[in-house]
Amino acid sequence: MWHEIAPDQQHNVQVDGHNVVVYSFGAGDEVLLCLNGGPGLPCDYLRDAHGWLKDNGLRVVAFDQLGTGASARPTDASLWEISRYVEEVETVRQALDLGRVHLLGHSWGGWLGIEYAIHYPDALKSLILENTVGDIPHLSRELERLRGALGSETVAMMQRHEAMGTLDHPQYQAAITLLNYRHVCRLDEWPAPVTRSLGDWNMGPYETMQGPNEFLYVGNLKDWNRLPQMTDFRMPVLITTGQHDELTPACAMRMKMAVKHAELHVFPNSSHMPFYEEPQAYFPVLLDFLARHRG
């Protein structure tokens, strides 16, 4: 299954006057364009999990979104808008002359993938929505349910620190750490690409768009909901999630109900990263879907 390999090519693409670094594995017309989560994370964790798929006849492309990784890191908060990121994806696609692509979006990359599919449907052969949602207000309610499992006293403590703005308190951080191990990655030891990405997190885009952590959405995407627009999707759509995902199976089911022809797979032993937690189940599903929608 997955293993880290060096990209075959590295490209520099100018986006909004800034440099964006793009990584490419393999060659050919069947392009899997990967949009990683965050916002504010380098693409290492998603790129290194999927780069080996070049051995299956795919060209795999991923990039450090503006503000992350090896790309430029401007500090202008007005850049951290989903509409600007949509145009960034399109700029990368055109600059590398990728043609019509299979677009894979994980987590925040899934929100971006949905938004891109609304604006550029003809650029897509298929859309793969991994561990993501189409309705963030619904997600916020699901996250309250998940942290409710910590117990009423712990939730009250978290709400008190959120109200006071003391999110760096050890009590609060301990609760977030437990939630992360339950609902982000359930492996005892997180893979090196994951720790690399998390260790280089740019909190500027993250806090502007999402919020201070994975379980509190207060940024400019807090009211984002594209389920009504998703009913118009005509491209093949694959939705995947983990049974224990922070972006819950209930969120995935709402997307499935919006996109009637979509396929939905729930991996029973995974949370937010089935490509690391359950690769023996995840990759056959992905490869089967891609094989059926080539051309």
Active site residue 272: yes
Which of 48, 64, 135, 245 is labelled catalytic? 245
CB 214 within 8 A of CB 246: yes
Cα–Cα distance between 154 and 156 in angstroms, integer?
Answer: 5
HSE-CB for 169 with a 13 A CA cutoff: 14
Q: Residue with structure tokens 């909004």?
A: 16
Contact (CB, 8 A) for 242 and 271: yes
Given 102, 183, 244, 272, the catalytic residue: 272
- One DSSP character per residue, the chain reads -------SEEEEEEETTEEEEEEEES-SS-EEEEE--TTT--SHHHHHHHGGGGGGT-EEEEE--TTSTTS-----GGG--HHHHHHHHHHHHHHTT--SEEEEEETHHHHHHHHHHHH-GGGEEEEEEES--SBHHHHHHHHHHHHHTT-HHHHHHHHHHHHHT-TTSHHHHHHHHHHHHHHT---SS--HHHHHHHHT--HHHHHHHT-SBTTB--STTTT-B-HHHHTT--S-EEEEEETT-SS-HHHHHHHHHHSTT-EEEEETT-SS-HHHHSHHHHHHHHHHHHHHT--
Instruction: Please state the separation of Cα 139 from the chain's center in Å.
Output: 14
**Per annotation, catalytic residue among 24, 107, 270, 271:** 107
238: left (phi over 0), alpha (psi -120 to 50) or beta: beta
Give the residue numbers annotated as catalytic, written as ranges. 107, 245, 272
